[in-house]
Copies of this chain bind each other. A is one copy, B any other.
Amino acid sequence: MARIKAVGTGSKKDTITKKAAALFRKKGFASTSMRELADNIGVEAASLYNHIGSKNELLQTICFTIANAFTIQLEKVAGTTASNISKLESLIRFHIQMMLRSYDEVFVANHEWKQLQEPFLTNFLSQRKNYENALVGIVQDGIKKNELKKLDPYVVVLTLLSAVRGLEFWQRHKKNLDATKLENDMVNHLIKGLIK
């Protein structure tokens, strides 16, 4: 009946993927059925398969789109001559912005990657590990150059990454806070406290 709308420049596959991200976030990947996704789009479940390969492919697309965005930004920032502290600040701000701009997708990449099948699961984990290691490298260098407090670099990275992840909760308080103040307060808490 109702055709799947391809909004703007995006394909119909993009429309489906977007809606899938929203549902996967709200209910979890395993608890979202293809019939439910189809219902939400206004179409029969079987019709989705004219546009996508499988349910798992949807998850893969979401997870790797996000992972690649972070990887690319990391490479961009790491290649500059900025101080380690400002590299960290810049990456934290990117995390915050991604969270605000692509909430559903980032959430799904953070929470539902476990449901990826091989070899995607292994790929995803190794990409994430590389990202973490690069951050640890920045912190280590910052400590060596006396920019940062002498804390365990792993703990610092873990604390930073987890804190920005917490922006998930922010959606609940959205009304009471503007994004810029949020970003600045969080960076302030995490970075200024970090500077020696």
Does more than half of chain A's interface fall in helix, strand or loop, or is it mixed? helix
Complex interface bits, A127-155 against B, C-beta within 8 A gives 1, otherwise 0? 00000000000000000000001011011
Which residues in chain A, 170-196, are within 8 Å of chain B measured between CB atoms?
170, 173, 176-177, 181-182, 185-186, 188-190, 192-194
Using Cβ atoms and an 8 Å threshold, which residues of chain B touch A50? none
Copy tally for this chain in the complex stands at: 2
Q: State which of A53-61, A78-86, A160-168 sits at the interface with chain B.
A: A160-168
Smallest CB gap from A173: residue in B: B154
Contacts of A111 in B (CB 8 A): 111
Q: Given A152-B185, A177-B152, A177-B154, check contact A159 B190 (CB 8 Å).
A: yes
B166–A115 contact, CB under 8 A? no
Q: Number of A residues whose C-beta is below 8 Å from B?
A: 38
Report the Cα distance A31→B112, complex, angstroms. 11
> What is the CB-to-nearest-CB distance from A194 to chain B, in angstroms, rounded to a whole number?
6
